[in-house]
Structure formats: C-alpha cells, structure tokens
Amino acid sequence: MSDAAPQPTGSAHAELARRALTEITPPDTIGAELEPVDEVDGVVSVRFATLLPGYPGWAWTVSVAQVEGQEPTVLEVELLPGDDALVAPEWVPWADRLASQGADHESDEDEDDEDEDDESDDDDESDEDSDDDDDDDDDDDDDDDSDDDDSDDGDSDDDEPQAVVHGGDVDGVDIDGLDSHDRSDDDSDDDDDSDSDDSDDDSDSDAAPREESSPRRRRRRR
C-alpha cells in the first residue's frame, strides 16, 4: 500500500511527465509521484500512482530522454503494474501485446482470404457440376423424346388397319377379279374384231355382185 500514497520526490521531469499523462487520462486519475527509475542511455522512467479503480499496485510511467545540451523529450507513456500488483504470472508489455494482436489480426485476414479462395473454387466446381448435370439432363430429355417418337411410330403402325388378304388379294385388291375383268374385256374386243371382220366380208360380198352385174347390164343395152 506504500505505492498508493507515496511522498513526492520532485524529480526534474515530474511536471513534463504529468503534462504528458494528461493527454491520455484525466488529471484526477493521476496520483502522487513515485520514485523514478533510471534506464539506460540517459532515459528516466517517471512514475505516478494511478487512482483508477480496479488497478491497485499499478503506476503511470512516463519515459523521458535527457540528452546533454537539449530539452528533455517524452518517449513513452503507459500504465504498468508494480511489484504487488494483481496481474498475470508473466506480464506482457503493451507494445508486445499490440504486436501480438497485430500478428493475430493479419493471420485472421490471411485465413479469411484463404476461405474466400476455397469458397470461390467450390463455387466454380459447383457450376461445372451443374453444367454437367444440365448436359446430362438434356441428353436424357433427348433420349426420352427419341423413345417417345419411336413409341409413337410403333403405335401409329399398330393403329393402322391391316388389310384383309384373301387367296387372290393383294393389299385388299382382288387380283382374280381384275384378271377376269381383263379377260372379259379381251373377249369383248375379240368379239368386236370378229364382228367387224364379218361386216367387212358382207360388205365386200354385196359389192362384188353389183360390180359383176354392171357389165351384164351394159351388154344388154348393146
């Protein structure tokens, strides 16, 4: 509890360090100055007790660089735990924490990019599979249409009435009847020819006596 209410040391850089702290935290959260810690290469850590609730044993720490012949410069302002502070067994400085968080963030972004690439590849493969399925469906539809056409052709052939064929029929046509009709026509033509010949013979025989009788008549006139 000695850190909670220390006596001010009045270091040369106390006012500079306090002004730097007011840029990141309200003044009423800054307690009394604690013993400063000399760092290497002219750097001094000016410490102040913190009045923030829930941070017992912590201290505001301002790192100030003092170079001979120049004004002191504030290097870093942070809240650090003391020796009796309630912290994890291994304290990790804020700079290391931020670096670790940045690395984790970059790793998460890389994983997100890889996931997006994998999803893109999966989408491409899904599209190709879908195209193949569509082609297969089209082929199946064509096969079904072809089968339907063949089935329709077969049904059409089956639905057409079959001509009843008898002994002398061809596709329902009576060949015997046609032959008898042709024979009757031939017989009729033969009869007509015979009649014509007989008529011609009769005409010739009638004309012959007339020609023979004509000279006889002439003789009688003499």
> Which of the pair, 25 or 143, is modelled with greater confidence?
25
The predicted pLDDT at position 104 comes to 82
- Distance, CA of 47 to CA of 18 (rounded, Å): 9
Q: Where are the domains of the chain?
A: 14-91, 114-159, 174-205
Split at pLDDT 50, 70, 90, the class of 51 is very high
- Segment of 78-92, 127-141, 182-196 carrying the highest mean pLDDT: 78-92
Q: Per the structure block, which two tokens stand in for 155?
A: 């049904």
The predicted pLDDT at position 145 comes to 61
DSSP H or E run through 65? strand 58-65
> Which of the pair, 76 or 136, is modelled with greater confidence?
76
Q: Using a cut of 0.75, tell me whether the model's pTM lies above it.
A: no
Q: Return all residues near 6 (Cβ < 8 A) that are at least 6 apart.
A: 32, 33, 34, 35, 49
CATH class name, domain 14-91? alpha beta
Listing DSSP states for 21-58 in one string gives HTTTS-GGGEEEE---EE-STTEEEEEEEE--TT-TTE
Alpha helices in 66-174 (DSSP H): 94-159
